[in-house]
Every structure is written in structure tokens, then in C-alpha cells.
Structure 1
Amino acid sequence: MNQDTHFRECSVPAVGRVFVYLLQGNQHMNDQLEHQLERRKIKPTAMRLLVLDFFQQNDHAISLKDLENGLESTDRVTLFRTLKTFEEHKIIHSIDDGSGAVKYAMCGDNCECDYPKDAHVHFHCRVCNETQCLPKVKVPPIALPVNYLAEEANVVVKGVCAKCKP
């Protein structure tokens, strides 16, 4: 977390003490986070606000382990439940990038995680090990045999990302 962040302490059941923060002098940012949760019919709690802000501070998909490391003094079970709540309410989506750990990334504002409408390609960099959403690169239509119904598709392209390219 950034050192310019002001904290106010509060209690959260099953988590103990965590910090709900207001970005320095910016109640508006906190209000935006709360609105984003409420728009998806999720009750804003201290932990949910922390997790949502963590996602917004990262430009790549993150794992539960990344979240644990980035938010010290948090309970793994509570983080996992928060991820599942966010996924169910389509704030984030999960990605199996072949790394052995499920990653999660922010959904777009109008995303409903519907296949094939919202299906997009993901890119996993073998150098920095980050996975990026490529929302403008749609998963191409897949012609399945008769009586097969596609419900989701996971396309991960692996290589070297723009940041790591020599």
C-alpha cells in the first residue's frame, strides 16, 4: 500500500483488525469503490473495499497468494470468500493461465461474463509471469459438433509481453 494513504481503523468480523482507508484527502475515491460494489449488489465492507482497491491498483491478473502478500494481516479464508463473491457478482473473472494458480482480473463495467459475448483472450508472459486480459481480442467462434453446448472458453496465449520485450 502506498505511504500517502490515510487509515482509519475498524473491526470486521472473522478478520480482526483491518484498515479501511481513504486515499489522501480523497473521499471521492472511496465513494467510487463503494458505488462499484453497490452497483453489482454487493454490500461494501472494509475487506471488500481493500480487495477492490488492490485490484484497481494492479494492471494484471492476480492470484490469492498475490492478494495475501499485498494485503498484510488478512485472513486467507476471508480473502477467498471475497474473491468468490466478486466473481459471482461479475466484478472479477477467473483465469486458468497454466501457472498452477488461478488468477483473477477485473471485469469491464458492462461485462456480464457471458460466453461468447464477453469472452476474450488472456496473455501470460513467460518472463515476468504476469497474466493480462486482452479485452479487445475476442475468443473466435468455435464450431462444436451437434448436441454440444459451449458455456465458457479459456484462451491463454503465452509469450513475452510488451514490458519485457527486448
Structure 2
Amino acid sequence: MNNNQQFEYLLKRHQLKRTEPRLRVLSLLSAKSVAISQPDLESVIGDVDRVTLYRILSAFEEKGIIHKVFDLNGTANYALCSSDCAEHDHHDEHLHFNCTSCKKVYCLDDLDVQPVKLPAGFKVEGFSWSATGLCPKCNNNKEA
């Protein structure tokens, strides 16, 4: 199954209509190794207006297709969720790494994150774990 077919299946699975702008957003997000902000998406997506893009991102986030993470400036950035995510049931318990040099936000899915044990009476509805520092590229540049 090629990427476009996978994206069409993803939209169908989440009861979202197949549109070219939605497919383009999914394609752009899947091609990135870092989370991307709405302004950055706007600059590369072309003829999709700001309101339409906002609605696409909101629908994708609500359905569990993407998740939002904030960068060091407080700007929302978006990345694809794992296949375990569903509407109102995100499972993106991974580290978000904010590079202080290039300002990119990385989702570090492969780290083993231990579940947080809260005191009785608390119920987790969202989880965000972030770190700041230098990504490998910026760290190598600094050492050179």
C-alpha cells in the first residue's frame, strides 16, 4: 500500500472526507522528521488558506491522527500520532525534544517512558514530557 492509499484509509477510518488538502497535510507531516508549526505548513502547502489548514489540523488532532506539542516560543507544532491513538484517546507518551539552537521539535518515540503514578483521585487527561538542549546536528556543529 502506497502512502496515498494509507492516508486515504486513515481518513476513512476516522470518518473524515477524503480531500486533496487533507491528503497534502498528511503527506507533509509524514515526510518530516520533526514536528511542524501551522505557519511553516502554510509556507509549503501552497494554495490551502489559513482557515482551511487550521480546520484540518483541528480535525486531525480531535480524531487522534496528529498531536500538538509546543516549542520554546509557545508555538504549536504538529506531528503524526502513532497508530494506537484514537479520537479522545491519544497515546503519545513520548519525549518531545526542543533544540535550543535550530528550534526544531523532535518526537522521541523510541525512549522507554515509565508510566506516571498519580495519587488517588487524580485522572490524567493529557501528558506532555519535554526536554531542551541541542539536537545531534547542532551539537556536532558546536563541537566542530
Cα distance in 2 for partners of 1:118, 1:53 equals 20
Aligned to 1:60: 34
Q: Which has the higher strand share?
A: 1
Cα distance in 2 for partners of 1:120, 1:161 equals 16
Q: Number of aligned residue pairs: give it.
A: 139
Q: CA RMSD in A?
A: 2.2
TM-score by length of 1: 0.74
Selected match of 2:48 from 70, 74, 79: 74
Do structure 1's residue 84 and structure 2's residue 54 form an aligned pair? no
State the shift of 1:28 in Å. Answer: 4.3
**Retained in 1: the 8 A contact 2:97–2:133?**
yes
Q: Which has the higher helix share?
A: 2
The sequence identity of aligned pairs, in percent, is 39
Name which one, 1 or 2, has greater alpha-carbon Rg.
1
In structure 2, relative to structure 1, the CA distance for the partners of 1:36 and 1:165 (3 Å cut) is: same
Asked which structure has the greater RCO (Cα within 8 Å, sep 6+), the reply is 2
List gaps (5 residues or longer) in structure 2.
none
State the shift of 1:141 in Å. Answer: 3.1
List gaps (5 residues or longer) in structure 1.
1-26
**Retained in 2: the 8 A contact 1:119–1:138?**
no
Aligned to 1:20: none
Cα deviation, 1:81-134, whole Å, max 9, x if unaligned, reads 00011111111001123322111111112234746x541111111121111111
Selected match of 2:76 from 102, 111, 133: 102
**Retained in 1: the 8 A contact 2:97–2:108?**
yes
State the shift of 1:164 in Å. Answer: 2.0
TM-score by length of 2: 0.84
Amino acid at match of 1:53: S
Q: Write the mapping of 1:7-86 to structure 2, written as runs, cut at 5 A.
A: 28-86=2-60
In structure 2, relative to structure 1, the CA distance for the partners of 1:120 and 1:138 (3 Å cut) is: farther
Cα deviation, 1:28-83, whole Å, max 9, x if unaligned, reads 44323212221222211111011111111211101111111111232101000000
Q: Secondary structure at the match of 2:106?
A: strand
Do structure 1's residue 123 and structure 2's residue 97 form an aligned pair? yes
In structure 2, relative to structure 1, the CA distance for the partners of 1:124 and 1:62 (3 Å cut) is: same
